Amino acid sequence: MIENVDLSLVDWSRAQFALTAIYHWLFVPLTLGLSFIVAMMETIYVKTGKEEWKRMTRFWMTLFGINFAIGVATGIILEFEFGTNWSNYSWFVGDIFGAPLAIEGILAFFLESTFVAVMFFGWNKVSKKFHLASTWLVAIGANLSALWILVANAWMQNPVGMTFNPDTARNEMVNFWAVLFNPVAVDKFLHTIFSGFLLASVFVMGISAWFMLKKREEWLTKRSILIAAVFGLLSSLMVAFTGDMSAKTLAKVQPVKFAAMEALYDGSKDAGLVAFGVLKKSDEKILEKKEVKDFAMKIRIPGLLSIMTGGSRDVFVPGIRDLISYGDSVRNILSISEMMQRGLYAKEVLNDYKRAKMLNDKEQAEIIKNEYFGSRTFLEENFRYFGYAFLNSPEDAVPNVPVAFYTFHLMVMLGFFFILVCMIALFLLYRGSLQKNKWFLWVALLSIPLVYICSEAGWVTAEMGRQPWIIQDLMPVSVAVSQISPGAVMTTFILFAVLFTALLAAEVSIMVKQIKTGPKH
């Protein structure tokens, strides 16, 4: 393992991956949701035979196409960056992590790319039903693709279904179903796709509201809003439900991240949920290095955090300092200090094994292999904390609290706001007064940037909140990085940043122009 890594290399590598992921996630959620909305519209067209529905379908399909292309472009880089920038990671867990990526390609990408061609070019070439089936298959393909990449991501957050092979110095998969049905994967997949559906619904409502404000395309936009509001409301409720599921799982598998999201330093029974809060500096330190962030003000719902995580106000919710010093005996979570000791021990055993192999001391190597790596006890009680061996202090296991706290709370607040937006849209449609309520049309339009912020904030919480880990407890980012010069990564970061920004500008400009032009007659 690389022991003395240049931190600027780690930072630039992280920055490049974050840049790519943030850009990629600007486009993917719209693809996930809009593909289903378009499929629903086309289904109505095929059922009713009304040309207006076809016109509506094709309008939203055009916007889908503009967004889809750039999503594909940014997606390929993410896959390859695991190799180019995180090569140690790629080897250490490639045996497990690579499989979902390959399955994604075989099962999902081909489905999506094959039928997207029929969807765009097949209007006059294939039957109505075949075209409709293609549109649905694109939607299914896009969401299947999300499934596999999220299975891979969830495994990084909660590594399961594997064992360590000291000869190859890597983790190897032993249970595919454990990887696929990892509780984090289930939560993450559902939460992510429903958030994509919600984003697309808000997008459709917002654009339609703009048409209404301009008094254009009344027939088309009213129906678009109806479909989007129903789809959006159902999705937003599912987002809230799956978010709650995620929080419960997180409290068990990533307790430090969970505590950081709540800026909870000292745990307690009857712990309250901070609905809104502003953090401020304080003189207090967690241990020696990292500062404790105090609340300048907060709105707290008493007992709710204990109820959410354990079903009762009597449940103790550990804070960051508890996790560092004591862990959580109820959930069988060790203290970080203890995990560091166990990780160091695991590393020592691995080094002894590698030394024996290098000296060709077969007998000693065999003894270590059988006694330690052949024992479930050693693997489960020591090696699973291998990554802690690379931390200098227990504080290193604490992520950036303000980032985790603010992005999480922003996501939650906006999530509830969109439930309200969808409900009001349906209410006004039911009353037949949607067009008269211009204030709401403006709210719907302005919700478009907000839903993107909400969506990105969710990913920042997930990824920044799990730092310093690239694989929870097993590998910190500093150990996973490829040995390239920081200057090289900085150069490619700048190149990607310039290119992505130019392409984003082109995408937004084209999209705005197409919207202003409106559906073709």
Partner 1 sequence: MISYIFLQHYWWMIVSLLASLLVFLLFVQGGQTMIFRLPGNESQKTMIINTLGRKWEFTFTTLVTFGGAFFASFPLFYATSFGGAYWVWIAILFSFIIQAVAYEYRSKPANVLGKKTFDIFLYLNGALGPFLLGTAVATFFTGSYFSLNYMNNVLWATPFHGLEALLDGRNIALGLAVLFLAKTNGLLYIINSIEDEDLLIRARNKLIFNSIAFLAFFLIFLVSILLSKGFAVSGNGSIVMENFKYLHNLLQMPVVLVFFLAGVGSVLWGIGTSVFKGRRDSIWYTGAGTIAVVFSLFLIAGFNNTAFYPSIYDLNSSLTISKAASSKFTLTTMFYVSFIIPFVVAYIWYAWKSINNRKITEEEMKEDVHVY
Cβ closest to partner 1, residue 5 vs residue 202: 5
Q: Which two tokens stand for residue 465?
A: 């909140």
Q: Does 18 bind partner 1 (CB under 8 A)?
A: no
- State both tokens at 398: 């604490």
Residues whose CB falls within 8 Å of the CB of residue 383, separated by 6 or more in sequence, listed in order: 164, 346, 373
Q: Minimum CB separation from partner 1 for residue 117, in Å?
A: 6
Between β-strands 294-301 and 475-476, what pairing exists: parallel, antiparallel or unpaired?
unpaired
Q: Is 158 one of the binding residues for partner 1 (CB under 8 A)?
A: no
Of 172 and 294, the one with the shorter C-beta distance to partner 1 is: 172
Q: Does 115 bind partner 1 (CB under 8 A)?
A: yes
Say how far apart CA 25 and CA 23 lie, in whole Å.
5
Q: Give the nearest distance from C-beta 281 to partner 1 in angstroms.
A: 40
Q: What is the DSSP letter of 328?
A: B
Q: What is the smallest separation between the CB atom of 327 and partner 1, expressed in angstroms?
A: 29
Site for partner 1, residues 431 to 490, rule: CB under 8 A: 482-485, 488
Window 392-431: contact mask with partner 1 (x via CB under 8 A): ----------------------------------------
96 touches partner 1 by CB under 8 A:
yes
Q: Which of residues 339-368 bind partner 1 (CB under 8 A)?
A: 354, 357-358
Is 7 or 174 the residue whose CB approaches partner 1 more closely? 174
Nearest distance from residue 321's CB to partner 1, in Å? 34
| Residue (of 86, 22, 30, 11) closest to 461 by Cα position | 22
Which residue in 84, 268, 325, 341 binds partner 1 (CB under 8 A)?
84
> Does 157 interact with partner 1 (rule: CB under 8 A)?
no
> Is 178 one of the binding residues for partner 1 (CB under 8 A)?
no
Which C-beta is closer to partner 1: that of 138 or that of 404?
138
Residue closer to partner 1, measured from CB, 6 or 95 = 95
Is residue 190 within 8 Å of 244, Cβ to Cβ? no
Helix (H) or strand (E) holding 173: strand 170-173
Residue 248 or residue 354: which is nearer to partner 1 going by CB? 354
Q: Determine, following the binding rule CB under 8 A, whether residue 134 of this chain makes contact with partner 1.
A: yes
Interface with partner 1 in residues 44-83 (CB under 8 A): 62, 65-66, 68-70, 72-77, 79-80, 82-83
Q: Closest approach of Cβ 248 to partner 1, in Å?
A: 29
Q: Going by DSSP bridges, is the β-strand pair 268-269/316-317 parallel, antiparallel, or unpaired?
A: antiparallel
What minimum distance in Å lies between the beta carbon of 103 and partner 1?
6
**Which is closer to partner 1, CB of 116 or CB of 286?**
116
* Footprint (CB under 8 A) of partner 1, residues 371-390: none
CB of 379 to partner 1, least distance (A): 15
Q: Which long-range contacts (CB under 8 A, 24 or more apart) does 148-152 make?
A: 148/100, 148/101, 148/103, 148/104, 148/107, 148/108, 149/100, 149/101, 149/104, 150/185, 150/188, 150/189, 150/192, 151/100, 151/179, 151/180, 151/182, 151/185, 151/189, 152/97, 152/100, 152/101, 152/104
The CA radius of gyration of the chain, in Å to the nearest whole number, is 25
> Residue 490: which residues within 8 A CB-CB, separation 6 or more?
12
Token pair of 114 as six digits: 């094959």
Helix (H, G, I), strand (E, B) or coil at 280: strand
CB atoms within 10 A of CB 168: 11
Pick between residue 46 and residue 107 the one whose CB is nearest to partner 1. Answer: 107
Give the separation between CA 471 and CA 373, rounded to whole angstroms: 20
Binding to partner 1 in span 194-253, by CB under 8 A = none
Residue 277 near partner 1 by CB under 8 A: no
Among 48, 51, 176, 446, binds partner 1 (CB under 8 A): 176
Q: Is 318 left (phi over 0), alpha (psi -120 to 50) or beta?
A: beta
Q: How many residues bind partner 1 (CB under 8 A)?
A: 88
**Residue 22 is a binding residue for partner 1 (CB under 8 A):** no
